[in-house]
Amino acid sequence: MVGAILAAVIVLGACGGGSDEQAASEPAEPATTSTAATSATTSATTATTAVSGTTVAEDPPAATTTTAAPEEPAEAPATTTVVETTAVPETTQATQPVAVPEGPPIPALTLELDDGTTFVTTEATRPVLYLFWAEW
């Protein structure tokens, strides 16, 4: 009877040692699984971030394009206005030289008049009548 008990204890002892080794290796499996799950979660988060980043990245260019579009039309009307303004004076100036009279140039003289003033023949701003006469 005692021998049977001892034999049973020995057998149980042998089984208990094996379960210790298994117990040591068992926690490793859940840990690995947990790590994999974490990695999967991290990858999913990264993927989500990447998608979000793409979405965010696409929006700003659209906004930039929208902002750039109004600038180009704004410059075009300004250029058109300048051309129209410049064209009018050029046409007017082209017709002015036609009025230049023909004839021999007046001698360049500085005349000291009796009233104390000076008259420069080449600086006259309006028509001039030179009247040559004598007191006798």
Partner 1 sequence: MPVVDYVAGEYAGQVDVIAVAWASTHEKTASAARGFLTSGATRWLLDEDNSIFAAFEVTYQPVGVFAVNGVEVNRWFGSIPEQELRQAFMDATA
DSSP secondary structure code for residue 111 in this structure: E
- State which residue, 91 or 132, has the beta carbon closest to partner 1: 132
Could you tell me the smallest distance in angstroms from the CB atom of residue 114 to partner 1?
5
Distance between CA atoms of 126 and 110, rounded to whole angstroms? 16
The answer to whether the CB of 108 falls within 8 A of the CB of 102 is no
- State which residue, 89 or 127, has the beta carbon closest to partner 1: 127
Distance between CA atoms of 101 and 107, rounded to whole angstroms? 16
Distance between CA atoms of 104 and 97, rounded to whole angstroms? 17
> What are the residues facing 92 on neighbouring strands?
none
- State which residue, 25 or 117, has the beta carbon closest to partner 1: 117
- State which residue, 21 or 102, has the beta carbon closest to partner 1: 102
Could you tell me the smallest distance in angstroms from the CB atom of residue 93 to partner 1?
16
The 76-115 contact track toward partner 1, x by CB under 8 A, reads: ------------------------xxxxxxxx-x-xxxxx
Q: What is residue 83's three-state secondary structure?
A: helix
Binding site for partner 1 (CB under 8 A): 100-107, 109, 111-115, 117, 119, 121-122, 124, 126-136
